[in-house]
Structure 1
Amino acid sequence: MLLRFVCALLCCLAGFAQAEPAGSTPHKAYLTLIIDDLGQNLPRDRRVLALPGPVTAAIMPDTPHATEFAREAHRAGKIVILHMPMDPATGPYAWHPELPIEELQKRLNAAFEKVPFTAGINNHMGSRMTAQPAAMAWLMAELQHRHKFFVDSRTSAQTVAAQQAQKIDLASVSRDVFLDDERTEAAISTQLQTAIALAHKQGSAVMIGHPYPQTLAVLERELPRLKAQGIDWIDIRQMISVRSNRAMAGHGKDGVYR
């Protein structure tokens, strides 16, 4: 009698487990962090390398410490990307819509030489440049040839950069949240929580910040708490794999960039 009761109980429990909805298990929530505008100030930028996790270091080519800091970041095990100046950015490396492809290539080559160990690139500024389909198509094909990925910083709603990357299945991903458009610790903390909430909602979020003192103070304080908030902090390559080149709802429809 006792044996039959135990067997019946086990069967009931097994049936209950099978009846639980699939959504009852918390889904993964992934977060990636990119810090832009690096290479200008070594003591400041080294605080970025000291952050406790897989920060991506986006280094500008037209900065005094670009090459040296790229080497330091690489030695520290961080992923290095080229923070490529694009119109309305100015300077010797900046891309502008009126430049011929030959000049764009010359400037890209020079930028890659200045920033070694790069795994990919993202755009610095670029609201005008990333809206140029022909130039963005050329860039994505060039990056594919070089075996590098692309991160669309999405500095403009008119960007077609990620769209062009998706067309040729180039490894790429798009930014979801800027942390520090407003340079106060309160505002940056709010943006970080926005990114965390978005990661829980859609499964992942890509954050971009800058090495401002306020940003670094918030990150130094809050990043060690991510795990307790159900967040897996992953590097940019892992994020590209997680998203499989699909657009998030804020970037397109049904996984296709608009």
Structure 2
Amino acid sequence: MNDLTNPLGFGGSGGRKFRVPVGAIAAVITASLFAGLAVWLMVVSDPLGGEPYARARIETSDTGYARVDIATVGVKSGTGELLPPPSDSKPEAGVPVEGPTGAEVAVALPVEADTALIETSPFGPLPRVAADGRRPLDVYARPVPGFVGASPKIAIVVGDLGLSQTGTQEALAKLPPEVTLGFAPYGASLDRWTAKARQDGHELLLQVPLEPFDYPDNDPGENTLLVGKDARQNVENLHRVMGRLTTYVGIVNYMGARFTSEAAALDPVMQEIALRGLLYLDDGSSPRSVAEQSAGKFKTAFARADLVIDAIPTPNEITGRLAQLEQIARTRGLAVGVASARPATLKALAGWTSGLDGRGITLVPITAVPQQN
């Protein structure tokens, strides 16, 4: 007998042949795959699984960051216990300035607005040149002692004050009076904050929102001056912002890369700033800015920042920018830096400014910077 004579599926006298259970094996494999998938879904939380993604390198620090150094700023404030306490008595209109021998010399610094420098408007008190020719730029400036001489000088402007109560309080507590403070027009209790800043001896600038290139995706805020608006509308919005504060020496742009690149839009605003006896500070963030040329047309007092100190807001980067600012001051005689009231920035500036005298550099307010007149 051979295989041809055996019935199908039988091995004849040689014994019974084994049949592979293909169906059972396939069922086991399928069940295993489903079980593995179920476990993966329970263990792995990835709602974006399968979506495109990007990787970014995160720098580490040997010293680490404190929680306060990464706090969020720029949030509109309400009322709260962090406001400067009200007082029934008026703050003294003077600050101490050290003389050449280390003795303190009293320097008058007005805390309240001079009524001769105020124009009443529907938008609030607007700055103006007094009938006798006095300008807010001069009256509200912090005097620089004559003994400063030819030593290298640095002016620092810290902005975004008035938005975060914590950030504003930290700036007033940590920064020396020679640092100029830039206030945003959107905060609460601005009169009290600015009065405290003046009492402490600081010059003030008003931050005016100007149109950036990616507006309105990136919106500087209410009453932003826009390239598409006519001159009358932009000057009116400038007045709306100006009426929020008093006792400031000038204007500094908030954003505004597009607006400051368009002379047709900027010129009427720059002319208005000059007519009201104010300084214009270009924060130096846009290489396309024509602010200096525009200021020249109207003889507007003008200054331009050399560096944004905290463009990269990490302690190492801020320290590096401050060292770079010192080098500019030693080379040119004077340098201007701008920054925001971030916790890490304030901490770095407090330590850095305390050692400037020992390094032969003088800290000066923004009005000490040479300007066009």
Structure with more helix by fraction: 1
Residue number in structure 2 paired with 1:245: 372
TM-score, length of structure 2 as denominator length: 0.56
Residue number in structure 1 paired with 2:240: 110
From 233, 236, 251, the equivalent of 1:121 is 251
Residue number in structure 1 paired with 2:261: 131
Alignment of 1:1-258 (within 5 A): 28-50=151-173, 51-88=175-212, 89-239=219-369, 243-245=370-372
Q: Determine if contact 2:284/2:307 at 8 Å carries over to the other structure.
A: no
Residues 157 and 109 (structure 1 numbering): CA distance in 2 closer, same or farther, change over 3 Å?
same
1:61-81 Cα shifts (integer Å, max 9, x gaps):
123343432232222221111
RMSD of aligned alpha carbons: 1.8
Q: Determine if contact 1:40/1:65 at 8 Å carries over to the other structure.
A: no
Looking at structure 1, the residues matched to 277 and 372 of structure 2 have their Cα atoms a distance apart, in angstroms, of 15
Cα drift, residue 27 of structure 1: 5.3
**Worse-matched range after superposition: 137-146 or 121-130:** 137-146
TM-score, length of structure 1 as denominator length: 0.80
Cα drift, residue 112 of structure 1: 1.0
Q: Determine if contact 2:154/2:337 at 8 Å carries over to the other structure.
A: yes
**Worse-matched range after superposition: 169-178 or 82-91:** 82-91
Q: Determine if contact 1:61/1:93 at 8 Å carries over to the other structure.
A: no
Looking at structure 2, the residues matched to 187 and 214 of structure 1 have their Cα atoms a distance apart, in angstroms, of 11
Q: Determine if contact 1:40/1:66 at 8 Å carries over to the other structure.
A: no
| Number of residue pairs matched by the alignment | 218
Letter in 2 for 1:229: R
Structure 2: stretches of 5+ with no match in the other structure? 1-148, 213-218
Cα drift, residue 226 of structure 1: 0.6
Q: Determine if contact 2:309/2:321 at 8 Å carries over to the other structure.
A: yes
SS at match of 2:249: strand
Letter in 2 for 1:201: T
1:183-213 Cα shifts (integer Å, max 9, x gaps):
1111101100000011001111000011111
Cα drift, residue 116 of structure 1: 1.9
Q: Determine if contact 1:38/1:66 at 8 Å carries over to the other structure.
A: no
Residue number in structure 1 paired with 2:99: none
Cα drift, residue 136 of structure 1: 1.8
Cα drift, residue 150 of structure 1: 0.5
Larger Rg: 2
SS at match of 1:64: coil
Residues 238 and 90 (structure 1 numbering): CA distance in 2 closer, same or farther, change over 3 Å?
closer
Looking at structure 2, the residues matched to 67 and 132 of structure 1 have their Cα atoms a distance apart, in angstroms, of 33
Looking at structure 1, the residues matched to 186 and 256 of structure 2 have their Cα atoms a distance apart, in angstroms, of 15
Looking at structure 1, the residues matched to 261 and 150 of structure 2 have their Cα atoms a distance apart, in angstroms, of 35
Letter in 2 for 1:245: Q
1:124-171 Cα shifts (integer Å, max 9, x gaps):
010001011022221221111111111011221110112111233211
Structure 1: stretches of 5+ with no match in the other structure? 1-25, 247-258
SS at match of 2:275: helix
